[in-house]
C-alpha cells in the first residue's frame, strides 16, 4: 500500500475559543500492543465535544449534533504514553453543520490529529440552521465546511462478515454510537494483518444510522488508496471507513 501524503489540517487558532481536557489511557483503551485504539480516540472526541457544548449552551436538549464524517491522522501512535492532553476548536461552519478539530498529544510523544463534521439538529431532531454561533465563529477564520461524503460504495462480490450488534453499542439516541463503528474497523484491520502501530490515516463517513435490530454485514475491499470497510444492512450502505498508511 502506497503511503498517503499527510495534508495539514486546520491549525490551532491564535484567537477564538478552544476547549481543553486530559485523559489517562486506561487498560480498556489499548490493544494487545499497548496502542491507543481508534474507538477510544473516537470516545475522547465525542466526550470532549460534549463537554465543550455543554459549557457554551450549544448542547442538548436545545441543540443536538450528529457526526457526518471524521478523519483521524495517527501521526505518532500512542503506545508508551500514559496520559494525553486534548484540545478542540471549531474549524469551520456551514448552514446546518460545523467542523470540529481535536489535537491529542501524549506524554511520551504520541500524537493524533482529528478533523470532523457535525450536522446541527434542533430539539425536534431535524437539521437546523446555525444562528448566532459567535462563541465558536472566531476560531473558524471564516472557513466553510462541506457535508459531502467522499468514500465509495463497495464493489459487488466483496468479502463479507457478520457484525453482531450488542446493546452496549447503542447510545441515548437509540442508534449505534459513533465510537462503536471503530470497534468493527479495528477488528477488520487486525484480521487483514495491517500494522496499526505505524502512522496511518483513518476516515469514516456516516451515511445513515444503524439500529440494534439491523442485520449488519461488513464488506471489506480496496478502493485504490487503502483498506476500506462498508457497513451494509439490507443492501443499503450505512457507513464506509477507509484506512491507509501515512508516508
Q: Are 105 and 138 in contact (CB under 8 A)?
A: no
What CA–CA distance (Å, rounded) separates 94 from 99?
Answer: 8
CATH code of domain 19-140: 3.10.129.10
The pLDDT profile of the chain, 247 residues, written as one tens digit per residue, is: 444 555 679 999 999 999 999 999 999 999 999 999 999 999 999 999 999 999 999 999 999 999 999 999 999 999 999 999 999 999 999 999 999 999 999 999 999 999 999 999 999 999 999 998 999 999 999 999 999 999 999 998 888 999 999 999 999 889 999 999 999 999 999 888 888 889 999 999 999 999 999 999 999 998 777 899 999 999 999 999 999 988 7
Count of residues for the chain? Answer: 247
| Local structure of 138: helix, strand or coil | helix
pLDDT at 119: 97
Same CATH topology for 19-140 and 159-245: the answer is yes
If you count DSSP H runs as helices and E runs as strands, how many of each does the chain have, helices first? 3, 10
pLDDT at 8: 77
Q: Are 90 and 135 in contact (CB under 8 A)?
A: no
What CA–CA distance (Å, rounded) separates 234 from 125?
Answer: 25
Write the burial class of residue 153 (CB in 10 Å: 0-12 exposed, 13-18 middle, 19+ buried).
middle
Counting Cα atoms < 13 Å in the Cβ hemisphere of 167 gives: 0
What CA–CA distance (Å, rounded) separates 226 from 246?
Answer: 10
pLDDT at 241: 97
Each domain of the chain, given as residue ranges in start order, spans: 19-140, 159-245
Name the region of 196 (left: φ>0; alpha: ψ -120 to 50; beta: rest).
alpha
What CA–CA distance (Å, rounded) separates 92 from 147?
Answer: 11
pTM for the whole structure: 0.94
Beta bridge partners of 240: 205, 230
pLDDT at 194: 83
Structural fold of domain 159-245: Thiol Ester Dehydrase; Chain A (3.10.129)
pLDDT at 6: 55
Sign, Cα dihedral of 199, 205, 206, 212: negative
pLDDT at 1: 42
| Local structure of 38: helix, strand or coil | helix
Amino acid at each position: 500500500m502506497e503511503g498517503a501524503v499527510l495534508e495539514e489540517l486546520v491549525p490551532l487558532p491564535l484567537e477564538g475559543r478552544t476547549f481543553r481536557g486530559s485523559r489517562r489511557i486506561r487498560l480498556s483503551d489499548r490493544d494487545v500492543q499497548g496502542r491507543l485504539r481508534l474507538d477510544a480516540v473516537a470516545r475522547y472526541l465525542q466526550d470532549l465535544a460534549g463537554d465543550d457544548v455543554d459549557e457554551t449552551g450549544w448542547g442538548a436538549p436545545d441543540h443536538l449534533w450528529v457526526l457526518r464524517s471524521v478523519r483521524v491522522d495517527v501521526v505518532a501512535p500512542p503506545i508508551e504514553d500514559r496520559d494525553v492532553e486534548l484540545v478542540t476548536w471549531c474549524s469551520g461552519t456551514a448552514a446546518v453543520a460545523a467542523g470540529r478539530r481535536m489535537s491529542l498529544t501524549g506524554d511520551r510523544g504520541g500524537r493524533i490529529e482529528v478533523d470532523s463534521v457535525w450536522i446541527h439538529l434542533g430539539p425536534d431532531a431535524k437539521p437546523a440552521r446555525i444562528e448566532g454561533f459567535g462563541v465558536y465563529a472566531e476560531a473558524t477564520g471564516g472557513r466553510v465546511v462541506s457535508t459531502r461524503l467522499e468514500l465509495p460504495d463497495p464493489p459487488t462480490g466483496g468479502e463479507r462478515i457478520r457484525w453482531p450488534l450488542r446493546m452496549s453499542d447503542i447510545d441515548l439516541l437509540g442508534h449505534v454510537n459513533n465510537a462503536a463503528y471503530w470497534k468493527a474497523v479495528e477488528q477488520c484491520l487486525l484480521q487483514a494483518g495491517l500494522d496499526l502501530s505505524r502512522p496511518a490515516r483513518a476516515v469514516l463517513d456516516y451515511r445513515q444510522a444503524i439500529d440494534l435490530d439491523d442485520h449488519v454485514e461488513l464488506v471489506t475491499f480496496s478502493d485504490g488508496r487503502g483498506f476500506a470497510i462498508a457497513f451494509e444492512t439490507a443492501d443499503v450502505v450505512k457507513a464506509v471507513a477507509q484506512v491507509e498508511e501515512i508516508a
